[in-house]
Amino acid sequence: MKAVTRLLIIVAIALQAVFTAPAATRSPKSDIARNLDIFNAIVKELQLHYVDTIDINKAVTTAIDAMLAQLDPYTEYMSQKESNQFMSLTTGEYGGIGSYIRYTPKGTIIAGPEPGSPAEKAGLRTGDLIIGIDTTDVTGWNDVRVRSLLQGTPGTDLTIKVNRPYVGADSIRQFTLKREKIQMPSVPYYGRLKNAPSIGYVDITSYTDKTGDEVKRALEALKAEGPLGGVILDLRGNGGGLLDAAVATVGCFVPKGTEVVRTRGRGAMEEKIYKTTAKPILPDVPLAILVDGGTASSSEITAGALQDLDRAVIIGNRSFGKGLVQTARQLPADALLKLTVAKYYIPSGRLVQAIDYSHRNADGSVERVPDSLTSIFHTSAGRIVRDGGGITPDSTVTYPEVSRLVYNVVRGDWAFDYGTRYAASHPTIGDPADFVITDSIYADFKSTIDPKKFDYDRVCETMLNQLREAARLEGYMTDSVAAEFDRLGAMMRHPLDADLDTHRADIEPYLAREIVGRYYNQPGEIIVSLPTDPGVIKATEILLDTDLYRRILSPSDEQSK
């Protein structure tokens, strides 16, 4: 079978060379037809005469994937099942129960019912361990297998059996639900900051065909509450989606008819210009946009266009750098080809693509465009911006590093489990904006951590052991040196309880989100995190300081020359 696969890969790569040759040297149609005939003949011969039975679907799919891998990571073949999942992502819609799920060592759990969803209305809670769906025992199943049973045609019934932790003997619960057409929100939360009521906040997590309307409703609602001193758009972790949704978002802040982006395909005639089509909702309100390394594609269009138009201050860390446009082409058997067809250029004329997939190293690898090779462009006001590496923020935010202890508290689900435990014994918590981790709550949380089960790889101890071993191998490990190692090791060895106290300020935000999320789901998690969010704090400071905001959006004296 491996020999078959290797042969098909070789043929596929040969075909790829034919199809991706530069336009000036593109192979004639006769060559393309001949190579396709060869490929078809090989597949037929293998199917008819190969000594062993082969999975021809798997072999051909492997060949297709090998061919596409020579292009870029965004051009990909999708089977019928994968294409259905892809369409769910672009529309935000699917038939199901309306809840996030995730896999843990115990099995798949409910990880957050959407407000108003069948899951929430039926009474499913975050932390419920799914053990049965209809007549199928799903104990220990991963989330992919469980999701395949949860999703289905809207209007159909299903029964879910769960094990609800920390509720005593009555832990096995059964719920009957009716699947609905689920629309996952692009804007899970918007509102005004409690500590700065004049500042509005809008979290945009994706770009689907509903995003433009959701952003518009959020901004209109914020505007209706009274004068706004500024708005924060949070695009951190937003991997993008539909280009039109980004254009609609930008259109909420700039005049109708403003160019947002243009795409250029392979041919000179394949350029398309996208302009805003509606009257802006907030044409003059100061605007800040939060970005990070997870901000990509359409979300970079939003941030980059508003930066180029000097309409917003970009805050955070450099964005991902994806300046390629994909479209979905229908294939036989309900499959799809997601195909890169163009590059996009924002108003200054720059392309934010950080990796040049058309130029590979000898080993086939690709690299980011070095800053030294990027080009200078200018915003509408004359500020300098650069291409080739994502969106560089106007104001950088330094986020605290996560210690090994905090990492293991989160990774080991200690905070998650405590949120479930807390909700089992506390019916309500009040306004999420007022919730704080008190001394008694934190002490109770610490009491739930079993040091014997806590995966705590102390970095200093590990490095000291490595140094001790190196000293032994190099011949330096005398009795006096060993004693010094022992003394130093004793100094750096702290009880877990003391370490939890030392890192309390870093653990509290995770703990608060888990607890509040049990009562208010994702919106509550966002609300309770805002007061301590370094990006939000920085954006608020800039928006409230009118002079600083204007200085950032104005070219320096040197740039004006």
Contact predicate 292/319, CB 8 Å: yes
Are 202 and 234 contacting, i.e. CB atoms less than 8 angstroms apart? yes
Alpha-carbon gap, residue 515 to 333, rounded angstroms = 46
Write the DSSP string, 383-432.
-EEE-SSSPPPSEE-PPPPPPHHHHHHHHTTHHHHHHHHHHHH-S----G
* Of 431, 424, 446, the residue nearest 511 (C-alpha): 446
**DSSP code of residue 225:** T
The amino acid sitting at 32 is I
Q: What phi and psi, each to the nearest 5 degrees, are found at residue 230?
A: 170, 165
AA letter at 21: A
Q: How far is it, in rounded angstroms, from Cα 365 to Cα 70?
A: 10
Q: Read out DSSP for 10-75?
A: HHHHHHHHHHTS-GGGPPPHHHHHHHHHHHHHHHHHHHHH-SS---HHHHHHHHHHHHHTTT-TT-
Check 297, 298, 319, 348 and give the catalytic one.
297
**Residue 322 among the catalytic residues:** yes
Q: Is 81 a catalytic residue?
A: no
Q: Does the active-site annotation cover 30?
A: no
Backbone angles phi, psi at 293, to 5 degrees: -65, -15
How does DSSP classify residue 268? T
DSSP assignment of 286-343 equals: -EEEEE-TT--THHHHHHHHHHHTT--EEEES------EEEEEEE-GGG-EEEEEEEE
Backbone angles phi, psi at 49, to 5 degrees: -125, -5
Whole-angstrom distance, CA of residue 148 vs CA of residue 223: 41
For residue 204, give the nearest of 243, 146, 249 by alpha carbon: 249
Burial class (CB in 10 A: 0-12, 13-18, 19+), 357: middle
Q: Cβ neighbours of residue 523 under 8 Å, at least 6 residues apart?
A: 115, 188, 189, 432
Phi, psi (rounded to 5 degrees) for 448: -85, -10
Tokens 């003949």 locate to 41
Alpha carbon of residue 232 to chain centroid: 19
Q: Which residue in 161, 210, 322, 538 is the catalytic one?
A: 322
By DSSP bridging, strand 259-264 and strand 271-275 are: antiparallel
The whole-angstrom separation of Cα 225 and Cα 198 is 10
Catalytic residue from among 72, 128, 203, 308: 308
Neighbours of 284 (CB within 10 A): 9
Burial environment of residue 214 by CB neighbours within 10 A (0 to 12, 13 to 18, 19 or more): buried
The catalytic site residues sit at 297, 308, 322
